[in-house]
Amino acid sequence: MLSASKILDAFRSVKHPDEKSNIVELGHIEDLIVKPERVSFTLVFRKPGDPFEKSMRAACERKLKELGMAEGTELNIGSRYLKKIQHAKEADQKAEMLPHVRNIIAVASGKGGVGKSTVAANLAVALAEGGARVALVDADIYGPSLPIMFDLVNEKPFATEVDGKTRIEPLERYGVQILSIGFFVDPSKALIWRGPMASSALTSLFRDAEWGEIDYMVIDMPPGTGDIHLTLVQNLPVTGAVIVSTPQEVALADARKGVAMFRQKDINVPVLGLVENMAWFTPLELPDNKYYIFGNGGVARLAEELNVPLLGQIPLVQGVRESGDNGMPAVLDKTSPVYPLFRDLANEVRTQLAIRHSIYAPTEVVKMNDSNDPACQS
């Protein structure tokens, strides 16, 4: 039987000659629908009139035949061309938020301290490993942690002037473009920000930054389901949400709230799936032992209950905490026990994104202008 993940696996050997990586890593398969009688998907090209369009389509078709796609199966391959990077001024006039960011992934939870930042950081690095252009935005305005996790505590992004407007250049680390409110303010002072100020500072991280063309933008959300979340999901075309939880009941209850928030009618952001963090503990000296400190399988059960995929399970490993504190996400160490797990998580996220576009229309932004900005409403 053909399945979305089998097809995407096979497409990993299809590569555009001008790209660094294959079409799956780069998220160039969208709207994937796999049914017994029909397979359809959209191939994404960076520019119209791509000279390799025909050969890319033929390569995909060949892969499907090799996989055993039955004779007579209807095959529809559409094409989509990315927009050319516009001048900042033109983009502003169109008031389109992040027009060159193809997939925006919000990493959230209901509860604090369950590992959102850790998952967001490692997911971003894992997505970038294959050559995709990845951005990571620290939206935790009250407790930014990405500067520490990426060893960028004393770094400051440059500001450039484009058409009389100040644009912020994100910092790059481990192949990921990063912005955090922590780069601009003393983290201890960020704690006393009032809601409206925090919201407008946050939107400026997206609106006033020179992001360029990005395949995946990962957003590390603050804990809870409050104002900041609403500001974000209402102002950005978030493609999908990844909800992180630990397996114990109190965390699951909050994860349920997190999922419910994204599913609210006026927000309506698809939930790509759940990640179980601290799923078990394995001591360094007993690598084959698993201790289910926070309970066993809680997030898998929640995923089933909510009818969303379980994207991955990450154990509690001392090295994950250490690498976070040392400014090098654990996934950078290929010998780490979590390296294959985060790599698989990135694959699962790519798969869900490829399928997502076929199920839902692009997320609509409620409105993005200053009158919608709480800071401007006094």
Ligand X SMILES: Nc1ncnc2c1ncn2[C@@H]1O[C@H](COP(=O)(O)OP(=O)(O)OP(=O)(O)O)[C@@H](O)[C@H]1O
State the binding string over 191-230 for ligand X (x if CB under 6 A, else -). Answer: --------------------------------x-------
Query: Residue 316 interacts with ligand X (CB under 6 A)?
Result: yes
State the binding string over 21-60 for ligand X (x if CB under 6 A, else -). Answer: ----------------------------------------
**Positions 244 through 283 that interact with Mg ion (CB under 5 A):** none
Min dist. Cβ of residue 137 to Mg ion (A) = 12
Min dist. Cβ of residue 148 to ligand X (A) = 9
Using the contact rule CB under 5 A, the part of the chain among 48-56, 135-143, 262-270, 364-372 near Mg ion is 135-143
State the binding string over 255-284 for ligand X (x if CB under 6 A, else -). Answer: ----------------------xx------
Structure tokens at 32: 């994937």
Min dist. Cβ of residue 111 to ligand X (A) = 7
Whose CA is closest to 30, among 85, 102, 83, 88?
102
Tally of CB atoms within 10 A around 145: 20
Pick the closer one to ligand X by CB: 80 or 256: 256
Which uninterrupted H or E stretch holds 324?
helix 318-326
Total residues contacting Mg ion (rule CB under 5 A)? 4
Min dist. Cβ of residue 145 to Mg ion (A) = 5
Whose CA is closest to 209, among 239, 234, 179?
179
Min dist. Cβ of residue 107 to Mg ion (A) = 9
Tally of CB atoms within 10 A around 43: 23
Query: Residue 115 interacts with ligand X (CB under 6 A)?
Result: yes
The CA distance from 38 to 73, in Å, is: 5
**Positions 134 through 193 that interact with ligand X (CB under 6 A):** 140, 143, 145
Using the contact rule CB under 5 A, the part of the chain among 6-14, 67-75, 137-145, 180-188 near Mg ion is 137-145
Query: Residue 242 interacts with ligand X (CB under 6 A)?
Result: no
| Angle, alpha carbons 103-162-26 (nearest 5°) | 20
Min dist. Cβ of residue 275 to ligand X (A) = 10
Residue spans of alpha helices (H) in 68-194: 88-94, 116-129, 146-149, 187-190
To 10 degrees, the CA torsion angle through 232, 236, 241, 244? -30
Min dist. Cβ of residue 218 to Mg ion (A) = 12
Total residues contacting ligand X (rule CB under 6 A)? 20
**Positions 286 through 315 that interact with ligand X (CB under 6 A):** 314
Characterize the bridge pairing of strands 38-45 and 29-35. antiparallel
Pick the closer one to ligand X by CB: 312 or 324: 324
The CA distance from 236 to 219, in Å, is: 11
Residues contacting residue 173 through CB under 8 Å, at least 6 positions apart: 150, 151, 152
**Cβ-closest position to Mg ion:** 117
Rg (CA), the chain: 21
Using the contact rule CB under 5 A, the part of the chain among 27-35, 108-116, 226-234, 283-291 near Mg ion is 108-116
Tally of CB atoms within 10 A around 216: 26
Using the contact rule CB under 6 A, the part of the chain among 5-13, 81-89, 262-270, 318-326 near ligand X is 318-326
The CA distance from 359 to 356, in Å, is: 5
The CA distance from 337 to 277, in Å, is: 14
Min dist. Cβ of residue 241 to Mg ion (A) = 15
Pick the closer one to ligand X by CB: 42 or 118: 118
- Do residues 166 and 159 touch, judged by C-beta distance below 8 A? yes
Residue-level length of the chain: 378
DSSP per-residue letters across 95-121: T-SSTTEEEEEEEE-SSTTSSHHHHHH
* Residues binding Mg ion (CB under 5 A): 116-117, 140, 145
* Residues binding ligand X (CB under 6 A): 109, 112-118, 140, 143, 145, 223, 277-278, 314, 316-317, 320-321, 324
